[in-house]
Chains A and B, each alone.
Chain A
Amino acid sequence: MTASGSDALIVLDAATPLLERLGSGATPALARAADLLTAARDAGTPVLHARLRFRADGLDGGHYLRRNPDLRVCAGADAPSYPPLAPSREEVVVPHAYPSAFAGTSIAPTLRGVGCDTVVLVGVGTTTGVRATAIDAMQHGFDVVVVEDGVADAAPGLHRAALEDLAAHYADVLDADQVGARWIRTPSPARSEGATP
């Protein structure tokens, strides 16, 4: 038997320099992600933001940054937020230096602390950060929902293939309307638990 019913929304890497690399094809997905961010806030569903960030010399990016030198746009300073997906002052931003938002970060205990058992992923990129985060979330004991029309990547074919892999092995792949309906039916209890110390 598994517990169920407490979602948290994770917005992955909604930084302007990363999104610009995806081109205009990503715009509809980012709009759907923004709709879902608003729905999460309205429903009291906890929201976390994960952001690639490296120190200026890139040392903490290790072999990931060595193999993906274009990600240096996230080195040295916080990359600017894509405004429709910008964090509010109350929302935790988790810096990460590897593809998964769980790798080398404290996001797992934060999710447990707000009573979350299911993470809902929107953002970029489907083949990299979304995929890595979905697998890691499952491996940390969380159920995973990937929002198929709320994630994006540069190559449409690879994006679709990644969603098929995720649906086959790791996650429920749902559209934004289906996820929004979850929150209307079963509002998260997390807000009433008083998670702040």
Chain B
Amino acid sequence: MLAAEDYARAGLQGSLDLDVEAPTALVVIDPVRVYTDPECPLYAGVEDAVEVMRALVSDVRAGGWPVVVTRLEHHPSGLDASVYGRKVPALRWFAASSPHSAYIPGLAPVGDDLEVVKQYPSALVHTTLAATLTFLGVRRLLIAGLSTSGCVRATATDALQYGFEPVVVADAVGDRLAATHESNLFDLRAKSAEVLTHAELRARWDR
């Protein structure tokens, strides 16, 4: 039996009904050059996903929906990275002193965009984002950015837990390993989020 069929029979792979319109925002997770500078050890080869992120941001802005852009930042002492800093030495590449911590061109927050500075993987943990989205009346969260297995997955899971409908844009997220990217999308689709491509979203918006 295919895994998808097995999961569906188990009561997983359910769907949120995206035909029901809901106030929506886009969050672009950590679009920083850590992942796109070839000389950075955390380079992930995600140029294709970055192109889709740019197109998606453009669509969402044109639609008048809020755009949220997140980045990681910690105090130079590392105290506010706590256990995360001890577990993930790679956080050093995101530090202000790193040459790779700037936003990827075209994905920096502009104008009314909401920039969320976070210390942990999820954009919704230890930030005011959930409160701000509630204040704005947002109910559905499109999720793009980097990386699929880390901050994207954490944010999508938390979106569900905070009461927002998570929609992960499959080709606007990326990871170092294709297999990791795919397996995380599989898990998200099975248990937490709708997973659609940018083209599939556009087809819905154009209907």
Contacts and interface: CB of A to CB of B under 8 A. Distances in A.
Given A59-B114, A60-B114, A197-B91, A110 B79 contact: yes
B128 A197 contact: no
Interface stretch (A34-42, A98-106, A174-182): A98-106
A196 B77 contact: yes
A195 interface: yes
A107 B82 CA distance: 10
A97 B80 contact: no
Nearest to A95: B117
Given A59-B114, A109-B119, 7 more contacts: A92-B79, A92-B80, A104-B128, A106-B119, A109-B82, A113-B82, A197-B91
A80 interface: no
B81 interface: yes
Which 4 A/B pairs are nearest by Cβ-Cβ distance? Answer: A197-B85, A113-B82, A104-B128, A106-B126
Interface in A48-78: 55, 57, 59-60, 62-63
Contacts, number: 79
Contacts of A46: 79
B45 interface: no
A109 B83 contact: yes
B207 interface: no
A59 B119 contact: no
A197 B131 contact: no
A110 B132 contact: no
Chain B's interface size range is: 20 to 34
Interface string B115-151: 1001110000111111110111000000000000000
Contacts of A137: none
Contact of B86 (A93, A106, A197): A197
A114 B80 CA distance: 9
Given A57-B112, A60-B132, A62-B132, A105 B79 contact: no
Chain A's interface size range is: 20 to 34
Contact of A110 (B82, B112, B134, B136): B82
A197 B132 contact: no
Contacts of B81: 113, 197
A60 B83 contact: no
Interface of A: 46, 55, 57, 59-60, 62-63, 90, 92-94, 97-98, 103-110, 112-114, 195-197
Task: Name the residue in B77, B114, B115 with the highest tally of chain A Cβ atoms < 10 Å from its Cβ.
Answer: B77
Contacts of A113: 79-83
B128 A103 contact: yes
Contacts of B129: 104
B93 to A, nearest CB: 13
Contacts of A108: 126
Contacts of B84: 109
A74 to B, nearest CB: 14
A80 B136 CA distance: 30
Nearest to A105: B126
A197 B90 CA distance: 11
